[in-house]
Amino acid sequence: MPGRDDAGQGAPVTVTMAKAINMGLRAAMEADPKVLVMGEDVGKLGGVFRVTDGLQKDFGEDRVIDTPLAESGILGTAIGLALRGYRPVCEIQFDGFVFPGYDQIISQLAKMHFRSLGKLRVPVVVRIPFGGGIGAVEHHSESPESLFVHVAGLKVLACSNPVDAYWMIQQAISTDDPVIFFEPKRRYWEKAVLDVAAGPLTPLHAAQVLRSGDDVTLLCWGPMVKTCLQAAEVAAGEDRSLEVIDLRTLSPLDLPVIFQSVRRTGRAVVVHESPLTVGMGAEIAARITEECFYSLESPVLRVTGFDTPYPPSKIEEDYLPDLDRVLDAVDRALAW
């Protein structure tokens, strides 16, 4: 098969998240000739983060397509291709660039299956590098996940590590529903051992308990997973036991895993980069309060970005949730 290497033969390898997604895209394209990759600079350049590096060389310009700089055109073309039996994977170069194509996503992509009474399917995957922490300029560090979760008809995923990234992108491509696939750009270069032969360890829409604990449940996804794991490690040195859950899928939410944990710990803190107001944390807090009210020992707390536009890169560290802010929320939850 084109472009196969040792990793493709099943030998465990240490890879970055960017490489893992590249490998996942390659595996999906090898398995199904109807899978296409399209977007700005995804071909000859290999994408600004080199996630699609080498794919056009191996699969040709008909399957890895450099598009004009027009997100509405990329999404509209992908919808048409999907209706003709293809499985397009669209790359939005940066999170803040998705909005020219937002109308196509919410008005067409999300509604086509429902509008046609189930007769039509549009298996389009929209890859969006998201989040801050890379010192980028305006429109390059957004966290717009709640805007997509609010839209019925979309599945919304957020990987947090190379192993999940490899399997989740393939699972997303294989589903018949439209998928928004968020990739935490500041984690692109972090590494993990990937064993392709082992198969996916977690079903697509399942949350994953990454660290067990008894005192507080930390709920997170994407770039905040590493931050929460670090917080749990520090808290352990202070005799505080934090359970860390990577939600992985924001729509649909794996609510049973969340509820089971919170009923046991009695406390929950939701951590995300996007602004506080009407963010995912608000929805998760409401669901926990409705279902776990008599188990809660304190209110569900949120650690988030602020209700401002994303700041200039020199002060982005003041905006992003960090170790201290997460631990402060844990202290407040335990003091209640």
Domains 7-198 and 208-335 share a fold: yes
- Per-residue pLDDT at 11: 84
Split at pLDDT 50, 70, 90, the class of 333 is very high
Alpha carbon separation from 193 to 11, 50, 60, 98 (Å, rounded): 10, 20, 29, 31
- Per-residue pLDDT at 201: 84
Structure tokens at 233: 């490690």
Cβ neighbors of 326 (< 8 A, separation 6 or more) are 218, 227, 228, 231, 269, 271, 303
31 CB-side CA count, 13 A: 12
7-198 maps to which CATH number? 3.40.50.970
Cβ neighbors of 26 (< 8 A, separation 6 or more) are 3, 8, 55, 58
pLDDT higher than 90, residue 184: yes
Q: Are 52 and 42 in contact (CB under 8 A)?
A: yes
- Per-residue pLDDT at 9: 58
Write the pLDDT tens digit of every residue in 301-326: 999 999 999 999 999 999 999 999 99
DSSP single-letter state for residue 259: H
Higher pLDDT among residues 4 and 116, named by residue: 116
Compute the average pLDDT of residues 129-136. Answer: 97
208-335 maps to which CATH number? 3.40.50.920
Q: What H or E segment, with its residue span, contains residue 88?
A: strand 87-91
- Per-residue pLDDT at 336: 87
pTM: 0.95
- Per-residue pLDDT at 159: 98
- Per-residue pLDDT at 10: 66
pLDDT higher than 60, residue 213: yes
Write the pLDDT tens digit of every residue in 153-169: 999 999 999 999 999 99
pLDDT higher than 70, residue 4: no
- Per-residue pLDDT at 2: 40
pLDDT higher than 50, residue 1: no
Write the pLDDT tens digit of every residue in 222-279: 999 999 999 999 999 999 999 999 999 999 999 999 999 999 999 999 999 999 999 9
Environment class of residue 18 by beta-carbon count within 10 Å: exposed (0-12), middle (13-18) or buried (19+)?
buried
Split at pLDDT 50, 70, 90, the class of 63 is very high
Write down the domain spans for the chain: 7-198, 208-335
pLDDT higher than 80, residue 140: yes
Of 113, 139, 140, 272, which is the active-site residue?
Answer: 140
DSSP single-letter state for residue 155: E
Q: What is the DSSP string of 63-77?
A: TEEEPPS-HHHHHHH
Question: Is 140 a known active-site residue?
Answer: yes
pLDDT higher than 60, residue 3: no
Average pLDDT, the chain: 96
Split at pLDDT 50, 70, 90, the class of 32 is very high
